[in-house]
Chains A and B, each alone.
Chain A
Amino acid sequence: MTDFTSFGVKAIRDGVAGGDFTAREVAESFNAAVASAAELNAFIVTTPDHALAAADATDAKRAKGEDLGAMGGVPIGMKDLFATHGVQTTAASHILEGFKPEYESTVSQNLWDAGAGMLGKLNLDQFAMGSSNETSAFGNVASPWKKDGTNAAMSPGGSSGGSSSAVASRIAPAATGTDTGGSIRQPAAFTGICGIKPTYGRCSRWGVVAFASSLDQAGPMANSVEDCAIMLGAMAGFDPKDATSLQMDVPDWDAALSSDLKGKKVGIPKEYRMEGTDQAILDSWEQGKAWLKDAGAEIVDISLPHTKYALPAYYIIAPAEASSNLARYDGVRYGLRDLPDGAGLQDMYAETRAAGFGDEVKRRILIGTYVLSAGFYDAYYNQAQKVRALVSRDFENAFATCDLILAPTTPTASFPLGSLNEDPLTMYLNDVFAVPASLAGLPAMSVPAGLNDDGLPLGLQLVGKPFDEQGVLNAGLAIQERAGFTAQPEKWW
């Protein structure tokens, strides 16, 4: 059997369309890779039959000379936050264990319609709350990367940690992710892959388990900028079932990709030079500036004065929305029910939620409940929403003088699993560079920049104007071409 696991989205799609190999061969190859990588714990359930059925459908279409679609013959991993018809969907929480949706999320349906197949449902931080993939009820996900000279399991980032681990280990050519405050970009940076969060509203939220609805956005994670452009095109689009879906045409991002940045101004926000940022990260930022300059861009200094306040505002807004969204898990309509003998309805709610939610989820629900409660709403929630407006205005002002923003994705490289569990705040700080773009709803991408002295990947982040995914992808491509990042983790799983 030929091994196709080194192939990306574009190579598979074009190879299948051109008749170089069949979609079935590709699906079998990745199914085998998934089956042999149980140690990564990247998947909660595997669905080899789904991948094979989609592959056979693609091969049959090709035999009839029909169009195979933008993702024709490409098997992907699906973050277990997307509802998939008849396939267990858990959000990595015990409270949804065994839940088999009677419907398909719009984003996953779009991908199947474009010819993709599903290798399985990917592990994640429980309800997408976490930055290390250690809050899943189905166990930690391990990154395929190790720190040089050590054998400790490293964090793949979070919340899309199953996605990043699977793509970086080449057991999936691409995967879906979701990003509420960095959950695509931070794991992509930790594992040396690409990931883009589009403008808020590009991808439908219908059928995606809700965390913080004003922030949640789906996006692709893959090994190249081109693959992200292709897959994002397949995922995005107007959906009448999502009230915040953008009623706009989806550009052909892949066709318009260009790494020529002549005439583009790239802003460098001075507030992102924060204390506690690794020197290696700062060095890669300098390198990134040089690469973009080399691609024809002009580098300009900008200021985003409220950067410091974005993270604390996020940790009011996101838990507030989560406490409201997660009220639906009541033991009545779906998921877990814990009903002690003789218990009444109220006891059933409280017992079910106590047994079903993990510690981090409970912590955030309590924070959210508190900041929304009578007497505290103005001081916390309203204040945070005003600060959010200021963070958003900072970007608007900056985009008057630049087209794009370049920054690090994270303040540090990946860390060993279990090393940051003492204090939730330390973990939250991982997303300090990612959260501002989330609050402002802007398209943002992480691309690999290189390895640090420990042999761990570092990412660079590009943030664009609303709806300018193209600009973000183009700059990402310019970095990709110049970084020449080909490092891969040594196989141990």
Chain B
Amino acid sequence: MSVDKETVAKIAGLARIKMGDEQLESLVPELNNILGWVEQLAEVDVEGIEPMSAVIPNELRLRDDVVDADPKTAGGKRDEVLANAPAAEHGFFGVPKVIE
């Protein structure tokens, strides 16, 4: 499978990265080179193999079902949460108008 300029533009749109024509064009061969190379995976016999993401035997835990179980990640942190916001207003994140 290979991508053309239109497909790269579509992916860039999905990824929310603005790209000019020139950039899209230069990415076409770059991405095709990488995609062509990873395509060798298709030759591996994976019959009956389950896809794996957790490779080390481990159990997922449940935290205690109480409010603010870990004070470091609990509530009451509005000012800290907003401290690095590019535009914080009235205790909220400021964003451009969404509804016309």
Contact = CB atoms under 8 A, between A and B. Distances in A.
Bind each other: yes
Interface in A51-91: none
Contacts of B59: 247
A345 B98 contact: yes
A333 B55 contact: no
A351 interface: yes
Contact of A331 (B8, B46, B51, B86): B86
Interface residue range, chain A: 35 or more
Given A366-B11, A387-B46, A349 B61 contact: no
Given A312-B41, A333-B84, A383-B41, A351 B70 contact: no
A316 B41 contact: yes
Interface string A376-391: 1001101111111110
A322 B14 CA distance: 14
A386 B16 contact: no
A335 interface: yes
B56 A379 contact: no
A428 to B, nearest CB: 8
B56 A369 contact: no
A353 B17 contact: yes
Interface in A235-259: 240-241, 243-244, 246-247
Interface in A365-412: 365-367, 369-370, 373, 376, 379-380, 382-390, 392
Nearest to B52: A389
Given A309-B41, A315-B34, A369-B11, A243 B61 contact: yes
A311 B38 CA distance: 8
B56 A441 contact: yes
A255 B15 CA distance: 49
Contact of A309 (B15, B44, B53, B72): B44
What does DSSP make chain B's interface, helix, strand, loop or mixed?
loop
B85 A334 contact: yes
Contacts of A351: 18
B38 A312 contact: yes
Contacts of A102: 77, 80-81, 83-84
A132 interface: no
A370 B57 contact: no
B41 A440 contact: no
Contact of B52 (A199, A388, A423): A388
A110 interface: no
Interface stretch (A154-162, A178-186, A336-344): A336-344
A201 B58 CA distance: 9
A385 B51 CA distance: 5
Contacts of A466: 56-57
Contacts of A129: none
The listed residue with most B CB atoms (<10 A of its CB), out of A246, A353, A357, A367, is A367
Given A383-B41, A439-B55, A363 B80 contact: no
Nearest to B47: A386
Contacts of B73: 241
B67 interface: no
A389 B54 CA distance: 9
A241 to B, nearest CB: 6
Contacts of B50: 386, 389
A385 B38 CA distance: 13
B61 A240 contact: yes
23 contacts: A102-B77, A201-B58, A241-B70, A247-B58, A309-B41, A316-B38, A327-B16, A334-B84, A336-B86, A344-B98, A348-B95, A366-B15, A369-B11, A370-B11, A382-B51, A384-B38, A386-B46, A386-B50, A387-B46, A390-B44, A423-B33, A424-B30, A425-B37
Interface of B: 1, 3, 7-8, 11-19, 27, 30-31, 33-35, 37-38, 40-42, 44, 46, 49-61, 63, 70, 72-73, 77, 80-81, 83-87, 93, 95-98
